[in-house]
Structure 1
Amino acid sequence: MRIKLTSVFVDDQDKALDFYTKVLGFVPSHDIPAGQYRWITVRSQEGGDAEVALEPNANPAAKAYQEALFEQGIPITAFEVDDVRAEHDRLRQRGVQFTTPPTETGPVTLAVFADTCGNLIQVYQPPADQAG
């Protein structure tokens, strides 16, 4: 069993695609019409085959879940980076608003930002002996 696809609910698919590609630096993978919405996925430009689907939060349950996590300050997902402080600086220069600056929590350093589409996203740097 492998993790190939995970979803992030978003309040606006066009805005999400712009943010996840132009700001975060992910690469568009799929953008297929699906009724009134689209099947949009992005992937890391650094390789790997895992994708993130930018799912519309049109379902009331999805919207309630997304809003509850945001209100409680809980990230919807996490992305691994080589250097949290450098990524924090890079994203801040692109206008990203962080709710948690780079913070050491035991052996892991993490930061949390808002994705402009209704979510908090965590970036983390694993311990040096577990990186990659």
Structure 2
Amino acid sequence: MKIKLTSIYVDDQEKALAFYTGVLGFTKKADFSNGPFRWLTVVSAEELDGTELQLALNDNPAAKTYQQAIFKQGQPALMLFTDDIKGDHERIKANGGAFAMAPTAVTGSTIAQVNDGCGNLIQITELARW
């Protein structure tokens, strides 16, 4: 088995698409509508055939409650990994990203959190090189 797709709830799909492509540098993979529903996914520009991230419109009351609670607690809704957190931090800031946590050393690794502007904190991690 493989993980091919995961979802993140967003309060505005257009705004989310602009953030995940324009700020983080992902690539739009799928974008189509079926009636009132829009299927929208992005992938890492480094892995065009990799795991897709669905930017799902958050119109589910239970999901909204969960999203707001973890955001308030400072918990990330998504974790991304990088080999160059300092470089990515600078690039994302230059692209307009708002960091809730600057790169911070944690148990040998380095993490940062950026606000996607759509209700989520995204954690970026550079793992320790042992």
Q: What TM-score does the superposition give when structure 2 sets the normalisation length?
A: 0.94
Structure 2 counterparts to residues 1-132 of structure 1, below 5 A: 1-47=1-47, 48-129=49-130
Q: What count of residue pairs does the alignment treat as equivalent?
A: 129
Secondary structure of residue in 1 paired with 2:118? coil
Q: What TM-score does the superposition give when structure 1 sets the normalisation length?
A: 0.93
Unaligned runs of 5+ in 1: none
Structure 2: distance between partners of 1:42 and 1:95: 19
Whichever residue aligns with residue 13 of structure 2, its letter is: Q
Aligned CA-pair RMSD: 1.1
Structure 1 stretches of 4+ with a deviation exceeding 3 A read none
**CA offsets 1:6-30 (integer angstroms, 9 cap, x no match):** 1110000111111111111101111
Structure 2: distance between partners of 1:34 and 1:80: 33
Identical residues among aligned pairs (%): 47
Decide whether the 8 Å contact of 2:39 with 2:54 is kept in 1.
yes
Unaligned runs of 5+ in 2: none
